[in-house]
Amino acid sequence: MNIRELSPELAKKAQVIGENSDTLENDINELRSWIEEQPHLISRKDDQFLLTFLRRCNFNLDESKKRIEAFLTCKTNYPDLYKDRAVDETALDILKCGLVTIPPNSLPDNGPRLLITQVSKFDPKKHSLRDVMKVRFMLFEILTFEDDITSISGLELVFDLQDCSLKQALGLNPALLRKTYIYQDECIPLNIKHFHIINMKKELQGVVNLARSMISTGTGFDIVIHEKESDLYKYIPQESMPVEYGGQNGTHEKFLEEWEKILLDHVEYFEEDSFLGTNLENSSCCIS
């Protein structure tokens, strides 16, 4: 098998979600054979790609197959978000705006990774929400398929509304957000633990509640609104936050340097990704 080797500590966590070295190769081969028997699926079939779906589905083969089909169907049905993604000037400019931060270290004991979105950095005059979401999910997918801690322990999301204006909040189209959360919850092989909202001003409450009502229906993760930023630290130790939040887990500036290099290293990956999807005429997936 061509898969990354885990540290002993992370291997123990993988065993908890059902990873078994004695049956792993057979499980991967069964998924690959199933994909090859589906004429409507245009998919990667490498060992690491298939293993990521198995981990997300606790090594339930039927659930893994459903998620692979949903993942590919979503790419085809929502091409404005999940296909034709290029590492170009627009993508790099969106990254440099500072909307997203991924600290270098996971939570303690190989716990979930952390991704922070600072909504005030979204400038609707400069970039469309679709382009911003597209880049955000490019980062998501790199983490999901290339970071073993993420694929085993999952991800904690933090949505920071500090200094976010009502105009910026109104730019967060609920229907578009709903598409992104279908993708997060039903399609991408990523276990999202919680979606945290912090620093929400009273004037934003109506907009956030509307978006929350459209997003949360049927999702498998909790959306938690914290009245005080300090309440977040009941879930995420403050030392695991970036320096800008009083933590010890890297700086935003360092994140931008590292992830610009990572994106540039994935030019070919996203070119190849644009060909993945489904033949809609034959797809039986319910993603619409």
67/146 same-domain check: no
156/191 same-domain check: yes
Q: What percent of the chain has pLDDT over 90?
A: 67
37/179 same-domain check: no
Residue 208 confidence (pLDDT) above 80: no
SS (H, E, C) the chain: CCCCCCCHHHHHHHHHCCCCCCCHHHHHHHHHHHHHCCCCEECCCCHHHHHHHHHHCCCCHHHHHHHHHHHHHHHHHCHHHHCCCCCCHHHHHHHHCCCEECCCCCCCCCCCEEEEEEHHHCCCCCCCHHHHHHHHHHHHHHHHHHCHHHHHHCEEEEEECCCCCHHHHHCCCHHHHHHHHHHHHHHCCCCEEEEEEECCCHHHHHHHHHHHHHHHCCCCCEEEECCCHHHHHHCCCHHHCCHHHCCCCCCHHHHHHHHHHHHHCCHHHHHHHCCCEECCCCCCCCCC
Note down the domain range covering 231: 89-267
262/153 same-domain check: yes
pLDDT tens by residue, 43-64: 999 999 999 999 999 999 999 9
* Boundary of a domain, candidates 48, 77, 106: 77
* Boundary of a domain, candidates 77, 101, 125: 77
The residue among 200 and 33 whose pLDDT is bigger is 33
The residue among 187 and 124 whose pLDDT is bigger is 187
Question: Is residue 26 situated within a structural domain?
Answer: yes
Question: Is residue 179 situated within a structural domain?
Answer: yes
Question: Is residue 46 situated within a structural domain?
Answer: yes
30/122 same-domain check: no
The residue among 68 and 286 whose pLDDT is bigger is 68
95/39 same-domain check: no
Residue 195 confidence (pLDDT) above 60: yes
115/243 same-domain check: yes
Question: Is residue 279 situated within a structural domain?
Answer: no
- Return the minimum-mean-pLDDT range out of 1-5, 76-80, 265-269: 76-80
Mean residue pLDDT across the chain: 89
- Return the minimum-mean-pLDDT range out of 103-107, 139-143, 197-201, 233-237: 197-201
- Return the minimum-mean-pLDDT range out of 37-51, 82-96, 100-114, 196-210: 196-210
Residue 282 confidence (pLDDT) above 60: no
Question: Is residue 191 situated within a structural domain?
Answer: yes
The residue among 236 and 217 whose pLDDT is bigger is 236
Q: What is the pLDDT of residue 124?
A: 84
Residue 89 confidence (pLDDT) above 90: yes
Average pLDDT over residues 101-105: 95
pLDDT tens by residue, 237-254: 999 999 999 999 999 999
